[in-house]
Amino acid sequence: MSGLFLETRADIGPILRLRLAGFVRSLRDSGFKVGLAETRDASRLLCSQVIQRPGSLKAAFRSLFCGRLSDWHRFDDIFDAYWTGKGVKSGVKVTGTSTRKGMKTIRELIDASGNRQETIAGDVERLPGEEDEASNDAPSGRREGASIAANLGKVDFRDLHDPDALKQAHDLAERLARAMRIRLTRRDRQKRTGRKLDLRRTIRRSIAHGGTPIELVRKGPREKQLRLVILLDASGSMNNYTGVFTRFVHGLLDNFREAEAFVFHTRLVHVSSALSERDAGRALDRMGLMAQGIGGGTKIGAALADFNRWHTARVVHSRTCVLILSDGYDTGAPEALGDEMARLRRRCRRIVWLNPLLGWQGYEPTAGGMAAALPHVDFFAPAHNLASLEALEPYLARL
């Protein structure tokens, strides 16, 4: 180890120090668990002879910052994009980088003068991610990935026409659902006092303190899990939303024992086995084969009648929340839909109806099946973008 950390200078200099801070921020934004100890060791690496060989520096940083197999697989792309600009499209900044045009790569920083402490007048770097007051460059470098996700979260799914943006919305919906699932299905309460130490969460919180377990997390009594039953409308009027909703449902059901999923259009299909596939592509292919007829008409009342008759006794109990994703357009009699909703309401804990049309300006659920179903709905909310799907979690967490 003494050879690896052969000191050449006492300090790496202000410019390279800020670049390192930006790189650490990029790793954190990408989900890496990086603390003060790793940052200090990285600074020592930059003071050693390893910096003269960028390939060796990448390998050293990879060993230092990657604590999981998934981190190992992603690290090279993040390193190349940040330090060399490789793989970065024009106009897209890597998270944590400066917006200045004069920002140097690691090789340029090494070769510029050979003196890492040299500062050039007029080229003093700002903190990574800060914008220049007079800069016309766009977009900003600060948390670019997060800002893209935030912007997509506010866009109505029907307005997403670009294939790349639509794919990104699908991926974000699935990641959102997975995060919600993990939080909603925790079986132990976190407490500051108690007999049983939650070692996993204690270690995770210690990362922010450089690995020192300052904050101990303990386990309390187990909570009864909420069971989620999802009924997804896959009719023609829902074409603009079905793709994103399907990925959202897949994220909720993946290895989630207390959830079931059904797709309905002119008939009801049980698709839990298909959507429990880890691979999203295989899951959607299987669901498509099982639910033939997607994109046709809608018979919500008939589908609920089949659900009440053949499935409620098996999948619904006193802690079940039935989640219906539908625009409420029904070709059947509204009275039939109202009767089936009343039957379902008597058996479950809550009924949540997410309607994408509710996010449209001027929409009122006053006609047909939607008006008949509303008296039996406990929570009626929009579902036209990612932000509206995310707003569902606090309600479910209270059940």
Task: Give 152-175 pLDDT, tens digit per residue.
Answer: 788 888 888 778 888 888 888 888
For residue 175, how far is the Cα from the chain centroid?
3
Q: Which ranges of the chain have pLDDT less than 50?
A: 1-8, 87-144, 188
Which residue, among 55, 57, 36, has the nearest Cα to 46 in the 3D structure?
Answer: 57
pLDDT value of position 128: 34
Which residue, among 180, 231, 174, 220, has the nearest Cα to 197 in the 3D structure?
Answer: 220
Cα separation, 90 vs 79, in Å, equals 17
Cα separation, 81 vs 89, in Å, equals 10
Q: Are 265 and 233 in contact (CB under 8 A)?
A: yes
User: Domain spanning 227-397: which superfamily?
Assistant: von Willebrand factor, type A domain (3.40.50.410)
DSSP 263-332: EESSSEEE-HHHHT-SSHHHHHHHHHHHTTTTTS---HHHHHHHHHHHTHHHH--TTEEEEEE-----SS
Cα separation, 239 vs 301, in Å, equals 20
Which runs of E-coded beta strand occur in the chain? 188-191, 196-197, 218-222, 227-233, 259-264, 268-270, 320-325, 350-355, 379-382
Q: In this structure, which amino acid lies at residue 354? A: L
Query: Which residues face 122 on adjacent strands?
Result: none
Sheet holding 218-222, edge to edge: 188-191, 218-222, 196-197
| pTM of the predicted model as reported, rounded to 2 decimal places | 0.58
**What is the domain partition of the chain in residue ranges?**
1-117, 188-222, 227-397
Token output for 155: 């866009």
Q: Parallel, antiparallel, or unpaired: how do β-strands 259-264 and 218-222 relate?
A: unpaired
pLDDT value of position 123: 31
Q: Are 72 and 62 in contact (CB under 8 A)?
A: yes
Which residue, among 185, 193, 192, 190, has the nearest Cα to 219 in the 3D structure?
Answer: 190
Query: Which residues face 352 on adjacent strands?
Result: 323, 379
Q: How far is CA 176 from CA 169, 180, 245, 251, in A?
A: 10, 6, 12, 8
Cα separation, 244 vs 247, in Å, equals 5
